């Protein structure tokens, strides 16, 4: 049997209608931004493999550090035990996180990092004997796939089958341009009840909801309001963390700090599954007690896996090198230049950028849903050109590894222009 035949026989792929989807691409090798399939075709990974990869694939320095760690200590239970990579990484993270973040709690993916953040906020008030149970989230949010993370995610058609089992969450519109005041006043009305435990948000860029963007000033107002009413703020930096938005964290653009932060994806440079939820001393202190029942009862088998921590430490070193900052700035500048050049194209409904993320919303006659038919057309259009872009409905975005070169970026931009032109000509053909 070929690899694809065996894949078909044994494997179930994520976010895939297995009956109708085209065969998956068998990738056998990767280096830098390039993925190579078993026939030797190469693709630029312009979405950093679901937003995780920041220094390029198969990075020799990260591989070496993980290998060395493997020979030393591959894994050990993290309850009652500790180890050097976890402690070193926690120290490193606390030194680069917003100043108020003082403690690091480990887990192994973005959804669990979010789940932990919500549980921390709820138990914070429980331990203090305060009855605050409401959670507030943005309408278009996406925070992951576990039940807690789905509950705080927006009203996604993806999760309809589980609707009856999700816990109730109060929603407000994200403060996108034109909706700032509605968002602010709805939040205020909910906070006035005195029952709000936490407000969770993706800072500045809302990823899976369609790469929606809003300003730091608007988020600052919302955080200030929450703090005025004694509610916790949870920043989900799972996608935005580690320079995606041009600063180490999107929260670095803010005047007001969150109480809890969730991170994953870029944490290990996209090499191994690891995540962290950080919090302030005040949050941690609410669990500090002679009463064993006030402890935080959460922990995964692979919590603080030493290999993941070693990859993260190596990635952190690369991230802090000057060349990485230069690359992030180069990508942001190139995106801006491209955006300015194609603004006003008749196929573009909206185009927006934050740091290394550029999103283009295509004009479409039908609804702008995840299931928009334009999505598949665009996906295969780009794959045929040797580019991995994974549209969210009619929104395409570039979110590349930071090692991408200018000429590789230009290849992506050129293909996008071609796609935009072909939408115009196919619309013209339909009308004719
Ligand atoms: C903002 C945000 N939070 C959480 C998650 C969930 O992360 P994971 O897929 O690692 O569970 C995602 C995934 O895309 C995300 O974008």
CATH number at residue 118: 3.40.640.10
Q: How many separate domains does the chain show? A: 2
DSSP state of 23: P
Q: Are residues 277 and 143 in the same domain?
A: yes
Nearest CA, atom 9, ligand 1: 110
Q: Cα(71) to centroid of ligand 1, in Å?
A: 31
Q: Are residues 346 and 288 in the same domain?
A: no
Q: Tell me which of 254, 285, 319 is where a domain ends.
A: 319
Range of the domain at 73: 61-319
Q: What is the pLDDT of residue 431?
A: 54
Nearest CA, atom 13, ligand 1: 144
Q: Are residues 151 and 272 in the same domain?
A: yes
Nearest CA, atom 5, ligand 1: 144
Q: What is the pLDDT of residue 365?
A: 67
Q: What is the pLDDT of residue 157?
A: 84
What atom of ligand 1 comes closest to residue 50's alpha carbon? 14
Q: Cα(48) to centroid of ligand 1, in Å?
A: 14
- From 53, 115, 264, mutation site for ligand 1 pocket: most ligand atoms within 8 A of C-beta: 264
Q: Are residues 78 and 117 in the same domain?
A: yes
Q: Cα(276) to centroid of ligand 1, in Å?
A: 12
CATH number at residue 361: 3.90.1150.10
Query: Which residues contact ligand 1 via a Cβ below 6 A?
Result: 109-111, 114, 142-144, 202, 207-208, 236, 238-239, 264
Report the alpha-carbon distance of residue 196 to residue 99 in Å, rounded. 24
Q: Are residues 383 and 310 in the same domain?
A: no
Name 178's Cβ contacts closer than 8 Å, sequence gap at least 6: none
Q: Tell me which of 263, 298, 319 is where a domain ends.
A: 319
CB contact at 8 A, 153 and 143: yes
Q: Are residues 154 and 207 in the same domain?
A: yes
Q: Are residues 251 and 186 in the same domain?
A: yes
Q: What is the pLDDT of residue 427?
A: 64
Q: Tell me which of 257, 285, 319 is where a domain ends.
A: 319
Q: Are residues 100 and 220 in the same domain?
A: yes
Pick from 241, 307, 234: nearest CA to 274: 307
Q: Cα(192) to centroid of ligand 1, in Å?
A: 30
Q: From residue 77, how far is each of 86, 104, 108, 247, 300 by CA, in Å?
A: 12, 16, 14, 34, 9
- From 117, 144, 392, mutation site for ligand 1 pocket: most ligand atoms within 8 A of C-beta: 144
Q: From residue 428, how far is each of 56, 417, 424 by CA, in Å?
A: 40, 17, 6
Q: Are residues 202 and 170 in the same domain?
A: yes
What atom of ligand 1 comes closest to residue 146's alpha carbon? 11
pLDDT by residue, tens only, the chain of 432 residues:
999 999 999 999 999 999 999 999 999 999 999 999 999 999 999 999 999 999 999 999 999 999 999 999 999 999 999 999 999 999 999 999 999 999 999 999 999 999 999 999 999 999 999 999 999 999 999 999 999 999 999 977 889 999 999 999 999 999 999 999 999 999 999 999 999 999 999 999 999 999 999 999 999 999 999 999 999 999 999 999 999 999 999 999 999 999 999 999 999 999 999 999 999 999 999 999 999 999 999 999 999 999 999 999 999 999 999 999 999 999 999 999 999 999 999 999 999 999 999 999 999 866 556 677 788 899 999 999 999 999 999 999 999 999 999 999 999 999 999 999 987 677 666 555
Nearest CA, atom 8, ligand 1: 110
Q: Are residues 357 and 299 in the same domain?
A: no
């Amino acid at each position: 049997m070929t690899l694809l035949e065996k894949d078909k026989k044994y494997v179930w792929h994520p976010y895939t209608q297995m009956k109708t989807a085209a065969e998956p691409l068998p990738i056998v090798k990767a280096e830098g931004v390039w993925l190579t399939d078993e026939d030797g075709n190469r693709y630029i990974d312009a979405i950093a493999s679901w937003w995780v990869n920041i220094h390029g694939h198969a990075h020799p320095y990260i591989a070496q550090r993980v290998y060395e760690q493997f020979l030393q200590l591959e894994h050990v239970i993290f309850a009652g035990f500790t180890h050097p990579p976890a402690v070193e990484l926690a120290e490193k993270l606390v030194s680069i996180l917003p100043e108020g973040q003082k403690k690091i709690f480990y887990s192994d993916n973005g959804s669990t990092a979010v789940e932990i953040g919500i549980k921390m906020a709820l138990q914070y008030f429980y331990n203090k004997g305060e009855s605050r149970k409401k959670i507030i989230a943005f309408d278009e949010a996406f925070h992951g796939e576990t039940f807690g993370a789905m509950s705080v995610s927006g009203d996604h058609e993806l999760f309809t089958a589980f609707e009856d089992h999700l816990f109730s969450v109060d929603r407000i519109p994200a403060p996108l341009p034109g909706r700032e005041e509605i968002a602010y006043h709805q939040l205020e009305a909910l906070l006035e009840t005195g029952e709000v435990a936490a407000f969770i948000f993706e800072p500045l860029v809302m990823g899976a909801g369609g790469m929606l963007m809003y300003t730091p000033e608007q988020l600052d107002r919302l955080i200030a309001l929450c703090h005025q009413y004694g509610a916790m703020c949870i920043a989900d930096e799972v996608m935005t963390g580690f320079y995606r938005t041009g600063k180490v964290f999107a929260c670095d653009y803010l005047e007001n700090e969150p109480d809890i932060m969730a991170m994953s994806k870029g944490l290990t440079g996209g090499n191994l599954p690891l995540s962290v939820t950080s919090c302030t001393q005040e949050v941690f202190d609410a669990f500090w007690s002679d009463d064993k029942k006030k402890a935080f009862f959460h922990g995964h088998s692979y919590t603080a896996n030493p290999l993941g921590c070693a990859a993260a430490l190596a990635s952190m070193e690369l991230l802090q090198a000057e060349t990485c900052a230069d690359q992030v700035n180069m990508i942001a500048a190139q995106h801006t230049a491209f955006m300015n050049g194609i603004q006003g194209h008749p196929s573009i409904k909206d185009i927006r950028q934050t740091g290394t993320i550029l999103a283009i919303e295509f004009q479409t006659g039908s609804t702008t849903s995840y299931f928009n038919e334009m999505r598949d057309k665009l996906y295969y259009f780009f794959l045929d050109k040797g580019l991995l872009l994974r549209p969210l409905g009619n929104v395409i975005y570039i979110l590349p590894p930071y090692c991408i070169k200018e000429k590789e970026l230009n290849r992506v931009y050129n293909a996008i222009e071609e796609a935009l032109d072909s939408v115009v000509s196919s619309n013209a053909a339909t009308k004719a």
